[in-house]
Amino acid sequence: MGDGSLSQDEIDALLKGADEVASPSSLPAMETAPSTGGLSPLERDSLADLINQSMSAVAPSLTAYLGKNVRIFNAYVEVKSANAIRGDFSRPFVQVGMDYTGSIRGKNIVLFSMNDAGVISSLMMGDDTGAPPPELSEAHQSTLQEFVSQMLSSCATQFADRLGGAVGTTAPDISVSKGASDLQIPSSGDLVKVTYNINIENMVNSKFYHVLDVSLASDLVRSASGGMQGGAPAHFAPQQQMPSQAFGSVGVSPVKFPPLGEGLPPGVGPNINLLLDVKLTLTVELGRTTMLVKDILGLGEGSIIELDKLAGEPVDLLVNGKLIARGEVVVIDENFGVRVTDIVSPAERIERVQ
């Protein structure tokens, strides 16, 4: 109207428009936490926690293999396309492929930088300096295969305990990836990439990578939840509303506590009884020696290797690469055994295996 007032029809139209704006059906749906490649943010956190726990348990056996303290921590899980992952590995890497079979199935590829692969293989071959070789010989590659096999096989044992079913592994396959085209991953689809921090006693302070199938990652999340309940993961049962769903787009992360004992002053710690069921690797060492790569490659049937111990000297008993006792070799039925002749005190043993 020309006088600036509104007619009844115009007022009704405005009210109708306001009702439509306020109507829930006209509002955009509240966004929940996005699910990438079938793994929600909560599932990715659950997978990262599981892998961190597994690697912490595996570290002592890897320490015994290398003779140096090994720490693998801060697993970071991403779901990315195969092409995006190829772009992440455009420079040379050493890749070791190994499949899981049984209760969980899928492909694993573990990738190390050329330098880190050289350090690990040198330590595996007895070079305490860890100096990487000019090139990875067949012998160096074989030792790196054994390192990855020990790591993934030990993890498989832990997953089997959680799932209540057997988890097997295939033989590891190693190759050098000189670029994205050499990466042994599917040509398309989504994959899970896990990035780890690895520290080897002031020799390596770096990262290595683990690429696996999304389906395998989902199975591992199922193992983290303690198995299946009625065909669905117990940790993600439908009747349990996740915090991210309850609060729309507000991200809610699970609480993460530091490892037990972290930050405690010397001499103060949890009850040792809590640790008595932890499995440690006991190694009996007859002796050691240092050899050149060319001498190792020249070994054959009938070769004799001279060790650094005299005949009749006690053998060493090592836990996590630390000496805890000495003994003499005996024969029990048809098996070798060791009779302990000298051992450190329980307090010293606990201190040495930490």
CATH number at residue 282: 2.30.330.10
Confirm if 338 and 328 have CB atoms less than 8 A apart. Answer: yes
Give the Cα separation of 137 and 24 in Å (integer). 67
Q: What is the CATH number of the domain that holds 58?
A: 3.40.1550.10
The average pLDDT across 251-264 equals 52
Question: Cβ neighbours of residue 99 under 8 Å, at least 6 residues apart?
Answer: 105, 106, 107, 108, 169, 170
pLDDT reported for residue 193: 95
Pick from 30-34, 62-66, 185-189, 325-329: least confident: 30-34
Of 161, 196, 227, the residue at which a domain comes to its end is 227
| DSSP run (H or E) holding 108 | strand 106-113
Pick from 48-52, 265-269, 276-280, 304-308: least confident: 265-269
Number of domains within the chain: 2
Burial state string for 140-177 with b = 16 or more CB within 10 A and e = fewer than 16: bbbbbbebbbbbbbbbbebbbebbeeebebeebebeeb
Phi, psi of 326 (to 5 degrees): -130, 155
264 belongs to a structural domain: no
Q: Which residues form the domain of 213?
A: 41-227
pLDDT reported for residue 274: 59
My answer on whether 201 and 319 are in the same domain is: no
Is residue 207 pLDDT above 70, yes or no?
A: yes
pLDDT reported for residue 245: 44
285 belongs to a structural domain: yes
My answer on whether 214 and 308 are in the same domain is: no
33 belongs to a structural domain: no
Confirm if 235 and 221 have CB atoms less than 8 A apart. Answer: yes
Helix axes 41-66, 114-124, angle to 10 degrees: 40
Of 194, 212, 227, the residue at which a domain comes to its end is 227
pLDDT reported for residue 27: 41
Identify the residue with better confidence: 353 or 335. 335
Question: Cβ neighbours of residue 183 under 8 Å, at least 6 residues apart?
Answer: 85, 86, 89, 95, 109, 177
Is residue 216 pLDDT above 60, yes or no?
A: yes
Question: Cβ neighbours of residue 117 under 8 Å, at least 6 residues apart?
Answer: 94, 132, 136, 140, 144
Is residue 68 pLDDT above 60, yes or no?
A: yes
In order of 83, 112, 152, 197, 232, the CA distances from 191 in angstroms are 10, 18, 18, 20, 22
pLDDT reported for residue 347: 63
My answer on whether 214 and 282 are in the same domain is: no
In angstroms, how far is CA 334 from the centroid of its own chain?
Answer: 38
Pick from 98-112, 151-165, 264-278, 288-302: least confident: 264-278
Is residue 257 pLDDT above 70, yes or no?
A: no
Is residue 227 pLDDT above 60, yes or no?
A: no
pLDDT reported for residue 112: 97
Question: Cβ neighbours of residue 14 under 8 Å, at least 6 residues apart?
Answer: 6
278 belongs to a structural domain: yes
pLDDT reported for residue 249: 46
My answer on whether 135 and 276 are in the same domain is: no
The average pLDDT across 75-98 equals 94
My answer on whether 222 and 296 are in the same domain is: no
Phi, psi of 176 (to 5 degrees): -100, 120
pLDDT reported for residue 110: 96
My answer on whether 305 and 214 are in the same domain is: no
13 belongs to a structural domain: no
Of 72, 60, 166, the residue nearest 110 (C-alpha): 72
Strand, coil or helix: what is 168? strand
My answer on whether 213 and 307 are in the same domain is: no
My answer on whether 278 and 213 are in the same domain is: no
The average pLDDT across 74-85 equals 94
My answer on whether 75 and 197 are in the same domain is: yes
pLDDT reported for residue 145: 92
Helix axes 138-163, 214-224, angle to 10 degrees: 50
Is residue 23 pLDDT above 50, yes or no?
A: no
pLDDT reported for residue 84: 93
22 belongs to a structural domain: no
8 belongs to a structural domain: no
Give the Cα separation of 55 and 62 in Å (integer). 10
My answer on whether 68 and 136 are in the same domain is: yes
pLDDT reported for residue 316: 87
Q: Which of 31-35, 109-113, 272-276 has the highest mean pLDDT?
A: 109-113
Q: What is the mean pLDDT of the chain?
A: 78
Give the Cα separation of 192 and 18 in Å (integer). 47
The average pLDDT across 220-231 equals 62
242 belongs to a structural domain: no
pLDDT reported for residue 15: 60
pLDDT reported for residue 85: 94
My answer on whether 189 and 334 are in the same domain is: no
My answer on whether 200 and 323 are in the same domain is: no
Q: What is the pLDDT of residues 285-324, one digit of tens each?
A: 888 888 898 888 888 888 888 888 887 788 888 887 788 8
Is residue 120 pLDDT above 50, yes or no?
A: yes
